């Protein structure tokens, strides 16, 4: 249960290796935080001891655990959430942070489908499993890390973009479906984020870093936002770009 | 019995959750037409989330909400006054407002009233509430003779401190987690009039306030000080001390104005209602201005006749005043520290005043002896209550600092106000928590009574 100043006690990260999720957890760390559960493909490789920056706001020992999670196995998602609840109680914030980046092109149908399986199918099954528990407990927020790449897909990464578009549409729709249940969904649309996932890639305009996303998410949770853009200006940038004529849009995608 | 799925929060309007509100009449519990299973299964078939009682929703945080589970509201029961013994047997769902409207014209007053009439008798017992007379009369629980409770196993039992001491002392202050209180027999205070004789004095700073309360409180049944927590420097802790007693007929005879009409007349009304959607108007500037005017207009020293509402429940004159804090809501921070910890008290007042967080008037009061409730809040010492807008940034750090200071001198926090404590903070403040848990294991082994607060604070 969050306290009166929006501090969660239990945070679950689906995709526990995400730099952005870690920055979010760092922002949400407070004396109220009791445990963080990292759902990852390989729990034995997770650095649970070093996960939380000691200078973050917890000021006490926070239990950090890792648990096995396979985004490509939808049938495992509901049992996983049930196991988490049996062990840790109510889930206050669940961050859906897993995903693959990649730019399979016109000739990669198999790799493209794999990307869709992780980024979209996995998001749907795990999102519904989380939503079921949040409804059951009557409170809690699912934070979905979407991307501006899904707002309007680009030639250079349209497969990735389309998976994020699907995830984004699923998340906002889920939020509407959960209205009145006490469960909430917050969709986060960052621009290019400098992180280990994007290392070596060319930066796009309005790029940001995990810390900025973390702060924006924490702020969004305090305000009860449904959608958060990072940086905030992207809301207006994409408000225009969405309607740019095709030849302009293609030109922008160098 | 009626059920509805609704979002609920406390009076501070923070941290809501959605549960199933179950309205039940006391008669339905007595005749067995509604069983404990019906209440607990309120959550749309979602088992395991339990049930908690809710009165008028005046606890500030989350003790009377239960996300995903049932929240039981007991309808008003009978009010049976025993004039000869000076007691009343009253349904737990009856509010002090309803009770006082019945009692005052008949020459009786509740033994303890908090700052609002809009709390139920059940809530008064579950939170073992206190009032301005704690230094003389103790908490509400000290005036209860008997309780009827619905237990987790479905039995309806009558208990007294003698019949089941464990359950009794776990229930006073037990936040509704030992069972559903159905009715209570409460000892009353006889009154001759519905007025109070009140002495008001303006006090320039905290040190002089502490000194005046230490030496003068014993002469009054009721005593409380309102502190300006925005003033700093030499004016740190400047306050208005109000102390009084129920006015006698002789008192009123001396003052012609008060003697007009029925001396026991009692018909409190509301002056205004705050509409929904108001933004936070209690920002630092507004609070500073208000506190300044309020302090200046208080008389240096003055005796007056006041109504019950004016003296005990002034905020009840403004309906839904909690909306004045806007969407983000607010929290009320209340703690007690031992009498000897005046340095800590001063440090806390100083911290709050210099924090930049606007606290509308704060209240300082001296507590008398404990009631004996295992989780009862009052313990001898100074209790300070302050309201803080919940949306302000940095509030979490201020609260963490205050928590440390309070616990450092052996103080504790009030569960009926709590909205930010951690399990560690409550454990440190309540040395009898394990004893209370043991009683709970006896009367509710399957955790059928539960609340958001109980889960948040790991009470169960």
Put simply, whether A60 touches B (Cβ < 8 Å) is yes
Confidence of residue B103 (pLDDT cuts 50, 70, 90): very high
CA dihedral of B116, B117, B120, B122, whole degrees rounded to 10:
70
CB atoms within 10 A of CB B434: 10
Angle, helices B206-216/B342-355, rounded to nearest 10 degrees: 140
pLDDT given at position B108: 98
Is the pLDDT assigned to residue B258 strictly greater than 60? no
- Catalytic annotation, residues of A: 160
Of the pLDDT bands very low, low, confident and very high (cuts 50, 70, 90), residue B257 is low
Domain that holds residue B354: 195-428
In a domain, B442, yes or no: no
Domain ranges in chain A are 10-252
What is the dihedral angle through the alpha carbons of B331, B335, B341, B343, rounded to the nearest 10 degrees? 0
Q: Which of B191, B224, B242 is the last residue of a domain?
A: B191
Q: Are residues B376 and B262 in the same domain?
A: yes
The pLDDT of residue A226 is 97
CA distance B410 to B23: 40
Across A83-94, average pLDDT: 96
Strands (E), chain A: 10-14, 35-40, 63-68, 93-96, 141-145, 184-190, 227-230
Instruction: Assess B420–A contact: CB distance below 8 Å, yes or no.
Output: yes
CA B251, CA B257: separation in Å to the nearest integer?
A: 11
Comparing CA positions, the residue from B40, B64, B125, B58 lying closest to residue B454 is B64
Residues B232 and B106 placed together within one structural domain of the fold = no
Write down the mean pLDDT value for chain B.
93
Instruction: Check CB contact under 8 Å for A31 and B400.
Output: yes
Alpha-carbon distances of A141 from A133, A152, A178, B257, B300, rounded to whole Å: 11, 26, 11, 59, 53
More confident residue, B339 or A205: B339
Q: Which residues of B242-259 are buried (b: 16+ CB within 10 A; e: fewer)?
A: bbbbbbeeebbeeeeebb
Residue B127 domain flag: yes
Task: Check whether residue B229 and residue B293 sit in a common domain.
Answer: yes
Whether residue B311 is predicted with pLDDT greater than 80 in this model: the reply is yes
Candidate from A79-83, A130-134, B178-182, B226-230 with smallest mean pLDDT: B226-230
C-alpha B347/C-alpha B405 separation (Å) is 8
What is the rounded distance in angstroms from the CA atom of residue B95 to the CA atom of residue B205? 37
Q: How far apart are CA B205 and CA B30, in angstroms?
A: 54
Q: Is the pLDDT of residue B332 over 90?
A: yes
Same domain assignment for residues B379 and B340: yes
Give tens-digit pLDDT for B359-375: 777 999 999 999 999 99
8 Å CB contact of B456 and A3: yes
Residues B142 and B248 in one domain: no
For residue A205, pLDDT over 80 is answered with yes
Please tell me whether residues B104 and B138 are part of one structural domain.
yes
- Domain co-membership, B404 together with B315: yes
Using the 3D structure, point to which of B43, B74, B105 is the last residue of a domain: B74
Q: What percent of chain A has pLDDT over 70?
A: 98
Q: Which among B46, B61, B403 has CB closest to A4?
A: B61
Asked whether the beta carbons of residue B67 and residue A89 sit closer than 8 angstroms, the reply is: no
On the question of pLDDT at A131 being above 90, the answer is yes
Question: What does the pLDDT look like over B264-277, one tens digit per residue?
Answer: 999 888 778 888 88
Q: Do A4 and B69 touch (CB under 8 A)?
A: no
Q: Is residue B183 part of a domain?
A: yes
Domain count, chain B: 3
Please give the DSSP secondary-structure letter assigned to residue A109.
H
Please tell me the predicted confidence (pLDDT) of residue B43.
Answer: 46
Question: Domain check: are B290 and B238 in the same one?
Answer: yes
Percent of chain A with pLDDT over 90: 82
Is residue B37 within 8 angstroms of chain A, CB to CB? no
The per-residue pLDDT for A198 is: 83
pLDDT mean over B430-455: 97
Q: Taking all residues of chain A, what is their mean pLDDT, rounded to a whole number?
A: 94
- Whether B447 maps to a domain, the answer reads no
**Residue B49 and residue B86 in one domain:** no
Q: Is residue B450 part of a domain?
A: no
How many Cβ atoms sit within 10 Å of the Cβ of residue B18?
25
Q: Are residues B259 and B164 in the same domain?
A: no
Q: Give burial (CB, 10 Å; 0-12/13-18/19+) of B90.
A: buried
pLDDT at A254: 62
What is the percent of chain B where pLDDT is above 70? Answer: 98
What is the ipTM, given to two decimal places?
0.93
What whole-number percentage of chain B has pLDDT above 90?
A: 79
**pLDDT for residue B259 is more than 60:** no
Whether the predicted pLDDT of B9 surpasses 90 = yes
From the list A9, A57, A182, the residue facing B456 with the nearest CB is A9
- Each residue's pLDDT tens digit, B28-51: 999 999 999 898 875 455 468 999
Cα separation, B345 vs B343, whole angstroms: 5
Q: Is B42 or A196 the better-scoring residue by pLDDT? A: A196
Instruction: Find the length of chain A.
Output: 254
Q: What's the confidence (pLDDT) of residue B256?
A: 61
Q: Is residue B233 part of a domain?
A: yes
* Pair (B154, B224) in one structural domain: no
Pairwise CB contact (< 8 Å): A182 & B18? yes
Q: Considering only residues 15 to 34 of chain A, which have any Cβ-Cβ distance to chain B shorter than 8 Å? A: 30-32, 34
CA-to-CA dists, residue B324 to A80, A99, B318, angstroms = 43, 44, 10
Query: Which of B395, B423, B455 lies closest to A5 in CB terms?
Result: B395
- Cross-chain residue pair B15–A1, CB shorter than 8 Å: yes
CB of B395 within 8 Å of a chain A CB? The answer is yes
Does one domain contain both B95 and B173? yes
- Lowest average pLDDT, out of A209-218, B32-41, B294-303, goes to B294-303
**Subunit contact B396:A222, Cβ cutoff 8 A:** no
| Fold (CATH) for A10-252 | Rossmann fold (3.40.50)
Report how far residue A74's alpha carbon sits from residue B405's, in angstroms, rounded to the nearest whole number. 49
Cross-chain CB nearest to A32 (options B19, B395, B422) = B422
Quick: pLDDT tens for A37-65: 999 999 999 999 999 987 776 667 899 99
- Contacting residues for B331 by C-beta, under 8 A, at least 6 apart: A4, A5, B12, B14, B60, B61, B387, B388, B390, B417, B419, B420
Interface test with A, best of B18, B331, B388, B397 (most A CBs within 10 A): B18
């Amino acid at each position: 249960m969050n306290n009166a100043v929006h501090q969660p006690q239990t945070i679950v990260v689906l995709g526990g290796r995400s730099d952005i999720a870690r920055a979010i957890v760092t922002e949400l760390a407070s004396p109220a935080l009791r445990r963080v559960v990292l759902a990852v493909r390989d729990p034995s490789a997770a650095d649970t001891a070093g996960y939380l920056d000691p200078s973050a706001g917890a000021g006490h020992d926070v239990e950090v655990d890792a648990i096995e999670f396979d985004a490509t196995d939808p049938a495992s998602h509901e049992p996983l959430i049930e196991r988490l609840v049996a062990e840790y109680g109510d889930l206050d914030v669940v961050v859906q942070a897993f995903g693959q980046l990649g730019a399979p092109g016109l000739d990669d149908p198999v790799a493209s489908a794999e990307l869709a399986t992780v980024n979209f199918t996995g998001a749907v099954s795990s999102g519904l499993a989380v939503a079921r528990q949040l409804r059951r407990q009557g409170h809690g927020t699912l934070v979905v890390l979407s991307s501006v790449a899904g707002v309007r897909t680009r030639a250079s990464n349209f497969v990735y973009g389309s998976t994020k578009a699907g995830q984004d549409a699923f998340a906002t729709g889920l939020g509407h479906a959960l209205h009145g249940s006490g469960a909430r969904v917050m969709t986060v649309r960052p621009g290019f984020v400098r992180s280990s996932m994007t290392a070596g890639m060319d930066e796009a305009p309005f790029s940001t870093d995990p810390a900025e996303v973390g702060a924006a998410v924490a702020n969004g949770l305090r305000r009860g936002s449904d959608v958060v853009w990072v940086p905030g200006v992207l809301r207006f940038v994409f408000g225009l770009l969405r309607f740019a004529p095709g030849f302009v849009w293609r030109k922008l995608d160098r | 019995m009626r059920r509805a799925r609704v979002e609920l929060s406390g009076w501070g309007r923070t941290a809501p959750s959605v549960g199933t509100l179950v309205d039940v009449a006391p008669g339905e519990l007595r005749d067995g037409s509604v069983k404990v299973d019906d209440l607990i299964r309120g959550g749309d078939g979602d088992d395991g989330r339990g049930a908690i009682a809710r009165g008028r929703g005046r606890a500030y945080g989350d003790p009377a909400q239960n996300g995903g589970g049932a929240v039981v509201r007991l309808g008003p029961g009978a009010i049976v006054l025993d004039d000869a013994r000076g007691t009343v047997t009253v349904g737990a769902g009856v509010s002090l407002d309803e009770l006082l409207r019945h009692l005052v014209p008949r020459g009786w007053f509740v033994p303890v009233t908090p700052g609002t009439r809009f709390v139920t008798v059940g809530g008064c017992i579950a939170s073992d509430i206190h009032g301005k007379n704690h230094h003389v009369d103790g908490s509400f629980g000290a005036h209860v003779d008997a309780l009827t409770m619905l237990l987790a196993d479905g039995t309806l039992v009558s208990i007294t401190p003698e019949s089941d001491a464990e359950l009794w002392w776990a229930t006073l202050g037990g936040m509704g987690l030992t069972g559903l209180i159905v009715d209570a027999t409460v000892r009353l205070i006889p009154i001759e009039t519905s007025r109070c004789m009140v002495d008001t004095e303006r006090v320039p700073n905290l040190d002089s306030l502490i000194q005046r309360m230490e030496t003068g409180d014993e002469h009054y049944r009721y005593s409380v000080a309102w502190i300006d927590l925005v003033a700093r420097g030499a004016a740190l802790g400047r306050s208005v001390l109000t102390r009084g007693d129920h006015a006698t007929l002789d008192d009123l005879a001396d003052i012609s104005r008060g003697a007009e009409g029925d001396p026991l007349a009692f018909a409190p009304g509301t002056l205004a209602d705050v509409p929904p959607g108001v933004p936070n108007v209690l920002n630092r500037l507004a609070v500073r201005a208000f506190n300044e005017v309020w302090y200046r207009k208080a008389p240096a020293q003055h005796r007056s006749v006041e109504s019950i509402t004016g003296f005990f429940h002034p905020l009840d004159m403004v309906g839904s005043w909690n909306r004045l804090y806007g969407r983000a809501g607010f929290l009320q921070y209340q703690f007690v520290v031992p009498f000897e910890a005046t340095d800590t008290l001063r440090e806390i007042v100083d911290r709050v005043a210099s924090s930049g967080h606007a606290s509308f008037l704060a209240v300082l009061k001296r507590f008398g002896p404990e009631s004996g409730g295992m989780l009862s809040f009052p313990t001898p010492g100074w209790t300070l209550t302050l309201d803080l807008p919940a949306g302000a940034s940095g509030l979490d750090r201020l609260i963490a600092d205050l928590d440390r200071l309070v616990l450092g001198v052996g103080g504790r926090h009030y569960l009926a106000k709590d909205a930010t404590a951690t399990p560690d903070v409550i454990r440190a403040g309540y040395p009898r928590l394990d004893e209370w848990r043991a009683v709970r294991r006896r009367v509710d082994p399957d955790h059928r009574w539960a609340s958001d607060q109980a889960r948040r604070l790991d009470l169960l």
